[in-house]
């Protein structure tokens, strides 16, 4: 969920695949399960509303007319090709489904949204108002907004990018109302029995006989920054009151709650017991087809069916996958049901889940059939501390070992719309520590890599947009992103106005990400070199990390320094165990740095089969060394 003000949201919860028709039956038409490939993918997250905006006014709480807004059409062929050239395989368009906004679209039959239950002026993309249409802000012609989005999907595909959008199954906007439902699809809550707190096929939880009260905004940020608005009157009609999106059962939620949303009921009773069939333990290893067939004849809660219909709607439109917001707040059985439906429709669909509880990781991958989960609580949290000049790189090695059985499924990132920008005052205060951080994030495992738009330019998110605080690029207000605007250069997308530092950083990202997706070793095996060097290698320290990545056709050694001040020089020890696996003989092996193309060295192998490589790392420097016989 993306709608906090500024408190820590995580404190609330610690090529070929066979197409199958939805009517297939395993017993009569068994198909082989797709083979899992560990190919690297790179996802570029675009906050769509902000991406193409060239307006530099950036007035706090500014209107669309004052601050401007990006459009689907701003993502031109040229823009998409430059994103592709960065080393990107998938593009995640954030903020696509129609969510609540403070803008008048009544001329298009869209109801106005109440500022008392909207965060910011442009609204949270995670308070969806209509799942069967797109945000009218993003269209040049709001009446044709869905067609403009379809054109963007086609344009993205034409430029070699697969498309991901958000689905937010845990909650919807308080004023959810679809204008675009397919025939015979009822709105959320339309057929609910509102006289009871819970009924299995109700879409919402209710507080019978009680009327919703808006939060006491004296405790937090006042709607629209205090600007007068006819609907900003401290009232929002909701009778009876519903549970708030983060599970709060109070008639009046706090300003720190997800007060602009209501929680979806998936057949989980208020006491936490489940009102549906449960998966048995053997479904840990069961195929997608088996999961699909398990649910095919089951009577599942109404909300399950509604979200299945929504997902299939977007898949049929050409969307290639989804990022599921706060997936851990919805039972794993639902994900088994939904994801098997999606995979039957499109076996190559990419399914990413926001899960922050490590004890749930394997269930959501194996039973929930997620492709990828956020590696936030382990990898990101540890790498962030190291990039800040604290911590110990051995922690990353430990995490890699702990995740060995699921490492391919753990999505790595340094920034996203929830996290502080690397260059912000709240994180590292400088984009440079992001260079070794990004190198390790992108190369230590076969996991996908996520890059947040303008991360590659060192965007510091230093401006006050209105709702929320600086250090995170706003997701609530109309705004322009300065470093991105310089790179966009009025639609040329050539960095013509970028600073020298921004150009150098983007060049680094481009070289690194293209190596990550093109070099076979990064889809291969991992070997820890750090542990063999930390105690007995002169010049090696806990500010350095090293490991090998290799395949049958390629052998790589990666080393990076998080030391901001000092150059480091050391003889990296390569254990005989790894040399034997590589089938290298005593003598020397030529070494070339792939990242900078300016380092030539030798791997020297002694008669005992162990090796050493002389490595020199500048402050915050790194190398990707290819070994060739």
What's the CATH code of the domain at 465? 3.20.20.80
Judgement on whether residues 533 and 598 belong to the same structural domain of the protein: yes
As a whole number of angstroms, the distance between CA 98 and CA 82 comes to: 27
- 484, 500, 518: which is the final residue of a domain? 518
Alpha carbon dihedral 584, 585, 590, 594, in 10-degree steps, equals: 10
Q: What percent of the chain has pLDDT over 90?
A: 92
**pLDDT on residue 25:** 32
| Residues 131-168: tens digit of each pLDDT | 999 999 999 999 999 999 999 999 999 999 999 999 99
**32: in domain:** yes
Q: Which of 486, 518, 550 is the last residue of a domain?
A: 518
User: Among 351, 487, 485, 475, which Cα is nearest to 409's?
Assistant: 351
If asked whether residues 541 and 510 sit together in one domain, one would say no
User: In the predicted model, what is the mean pLDDT of residues 245-249?
Assistant: 98
- Domain at 598, CATH number: 2.60.40.1180
Number of domains the chain is built from: 2
Residue 213, in any domain of the structure: no
One-letter-per-residue 3-state SS of 552-607 = CCCEEEEEEECCCCCCEEEEEEECHHHHHHHCCCCEEEEEEECCCCCCEEEEEECC
Count of beta carbons in the 10 Å neighbourhood of residue 327: 26
Percent above pLDDT 70 for the chain: 94
Answer whether residue 3 shows pLDDT above 50: no
The token pair that represents 307 in the structure block: 């979200």
Q: Are strands 568-574 and 525-528 parallel, antiparallel or unpaired?
A: unpaired
Domain boundary among 503, 518, 533: 518
In whole angstroms, give the CA distance from residue 126 to residue 336.
23
pLDDT band at 469 (very low <50, low <70, confident <90, very high): confident
Determine the Cα–Cα distance for residues 481 and 74; give it in Å rounded to an integer. Answer: 14
C-alpha–C-alpha distance, residues 206 and 275, integer Å: 17
Residue 224 lies in a domain: no
322's enclosing H/E stretch is strand 321-324
Average pLDDT, the chain: 93
The whole-number pLDDT of residue 36 equals: 45
Q: What are phi and psi of 314, to 5 degrees?
A: -75, -35
Q: Could you tell me if 500 and 548 lie in one domain?
A: no
Query: For residue 220, what pLDDT is reported?
Result: 87
Q: Where are the alpha helices (DSSP H) in 324-431?
A: 332-345, 361-366, 381-387, 394-402
Bridge-based pairing state of the strands 372-374 and 600-605? unpaired
User: How many CB atoms neighbour CB 265 within 10 A?
Assistant: 27
The C-alpha atoms of residue 479 and residue 333 are separated, in whole angstroms, by 39
Same structural domain, 507 and 560: no
For residue 399, being part of any structural domain is answered with: no
- Look at 90 and 17; give whichever has higher pLDDT: 90
Cα dihedral value 96, 102, 104, 110, nearest 10 = 50
Say what the pLDDT of residue 273 is.
98
pLDDT in tens, 202-227: 999 999 999 999 999 998 899 999 99
379: exposed, middle or buried (Cβ count in 10 Å: 0-12, 13-18, 19+): buried
pTM (predicted TM-score): 0.94
**230 belongs to a structural domain:** no
Instruction: Name the DSSP class of 514.
Output: H
Residues 72 and 94 grouped into a single domain:
yes
Instruction: Kindly tell me the sign of the dihedral angle through the C-alpha atoms of 454, 458, 460, 463.
Output: negative
In a domain, 276, yes or no: no
455 plus 335 within the same structural domain: yes
pLDDT at 584 over 70: yes
503 and 597 both lie in a single domain = no
Residues 86 and 104 occupy one common structural domain: yes
Tell me, yes or no, whether 113 and 32 share the same domain. Answer: yes
Residue 317 has pLDDT above 80, yes or no: yes
Task: Say yes or no: 459 and 583 in one domain.
Answer: no
pLDDT tier for residue 38 given thresholds of 50, 70 and 90: low
pLDDT score of 598: 80
Tokens found for residue 9: 């949201």
Same-domain check for residues 455 and 568: no
pLDDT for 600 equals: 76
In this structure, what are the phi and psi dihedrals at residue 173, rounded to the nearest 5 degrees? -60, 150
Identify the band that residue 4 occupies on the pLDDT scale cut at 50, 70 and 90: very low
Specify the pLDDT at position 22: 32
Domain limits at 43?
9-177+304-375+447-518
Tell me, yes or no, whether 40 and 114 share the same domain: yes
Q: Name the nearest CA neighbour of 503 among 491, 518, 487.
A: 487
Inside any domain, residue 95: yes
Decide if pLDDT at 29 tops 60: no
Beta-strand relationship, 568-574 and 555-561: unpaired
Cβ 86 vs Cβ 487: under 8 Å: no
Q: Hunting for tokens 């806990």 — which residue is that? A: 542
The residue among 399, 394, 414 whose CA lies nearest residue 545 is 394
Residue 388 predicted with pLDDT over 80 = yes
Is residue 237 one of the residues assigned to a domain?
no
pLDDT at position 495 over 60: yes
Dig out the tokens for 183 from the structure: 């025939």
């Amino acid at each position: 969920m993306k709608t906090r003000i500024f408190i820590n949201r995580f404190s609330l919860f610690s090529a070929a695949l066979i197409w199958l028709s939805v009517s297939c039956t395993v017993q009569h038409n068994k198909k082989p399960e797709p083979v899992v490939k560990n190919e690297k993918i790179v996802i570029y997250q675009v906050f769509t509303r902000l991406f193409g905006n060239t307006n530099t006014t950036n007035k706090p709480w500014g209107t669309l007319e004052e601050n401007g807004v990006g459009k689907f059409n701003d993502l031109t062929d040229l823009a998409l090709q430059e994103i592709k050239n960065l080393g990107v395989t998938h593009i995640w368009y954030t903020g696509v489904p129609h969510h609540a906004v403070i803008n008048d679209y009544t001329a298009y039959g869209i109801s106005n949204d109440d500022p008392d239950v909207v965060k910011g002026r442009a609204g949270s993309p995670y308070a969806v108002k209509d799942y069967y249409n797109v945000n009218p802000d993003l269209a040049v012609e709001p009446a044709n907004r869905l067609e403009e989005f379809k054109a963007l999907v086609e344009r993205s595909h034409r430029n070699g990018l697969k498309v991901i959008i958000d689905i937010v199954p845990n909650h919807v906007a308080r004023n959810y109302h679809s204008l675009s439902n397919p025939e015979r699809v009822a709105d959320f809550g339309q057929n609910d029995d509102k006289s009871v707190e819970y009924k299995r096929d109700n879409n919402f939880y209710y507080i019978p006989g009680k009327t919703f009260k808006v939060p006491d905004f004296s405790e937090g940020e006042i709607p629209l920054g205090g600007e007068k608005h006819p609907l900003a009157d401290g009232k929002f009609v909701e009778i009876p009151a519903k549970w708030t999106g983060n599970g709060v059962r109070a008639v009046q939620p706090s300003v720190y709650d997800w007060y602009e949303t209501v929680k979806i009921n998936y057949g989980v009773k208020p006491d936490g017991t489940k009102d549906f069939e449960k998966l048995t333990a053997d479904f840990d290893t069961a195929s997608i087809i088996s999961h699909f067939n398990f649910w095919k004849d089951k009577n599942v809660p109404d909300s399950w069916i509604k979200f299945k219909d929504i997902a299939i709607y977007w898949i049929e439109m050409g969307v290639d996958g989804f990022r599921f917001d706060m997936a851990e707040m919805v039972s794993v059985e639902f994900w088994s049901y939904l994801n098997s439906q999606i995979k039957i429709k499109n076996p190559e669909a990419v399914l990413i889940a926001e899960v922050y509880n490590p004890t749930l990781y394997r269930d959501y991958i194996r039973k929930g059939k997620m492709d990828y989960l956020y590696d936030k609580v382990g990898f990101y949290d540890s790498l962030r501390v190291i990039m800040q000049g604290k911590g110990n790189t051995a922690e990353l090695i430990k995490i890699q070992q702990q995740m060995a059985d699921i490492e391919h499924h753990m999505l790595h990132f340094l920034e996203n719309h929830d996290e502080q920008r690397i260059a912000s005052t709240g994180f590292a205060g400088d984009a440079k520590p992001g260079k070794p951080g990004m190198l390790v994030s992108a190369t230590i495992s076969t996991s996908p890599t996520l890059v947040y738009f303008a991360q590659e330019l060192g965007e510091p998110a230093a401006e006050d947009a209105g709702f929320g605080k600086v250090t995170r690029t706003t997701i609530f207000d109309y705004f322009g992103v300065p470093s991105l605007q310089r790179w966009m250069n009025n639609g040329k997308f050539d960095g013509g106005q970028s600073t020298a530092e921004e150009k150098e950083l983007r060049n680094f990202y481009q070289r690194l990400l293209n190596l990550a997706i093109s070099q076979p070793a990064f889809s291969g095996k991992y070997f820890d070199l750090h542990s063999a060097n930390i105690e007995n290698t002169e010049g090696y320290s806990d500010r350095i990390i090293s490991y090998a990545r290799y395949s049958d056709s390629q052998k790589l050694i990666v080393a990076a320094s998080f030391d901001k001040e000092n150059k480091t020089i050391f003889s990296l020890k390569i254990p005989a165990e790894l040399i034997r696996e590589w089938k290298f003989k005593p003598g020397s092996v030529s070494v070339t740095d792939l990242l900078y193309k300016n380092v030539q060295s030798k791997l020297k192998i002694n008669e005992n089969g162990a090796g050493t490589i002389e490595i020199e790392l500048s402050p915050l420097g790194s190398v990707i060394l290819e070994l060739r016989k």
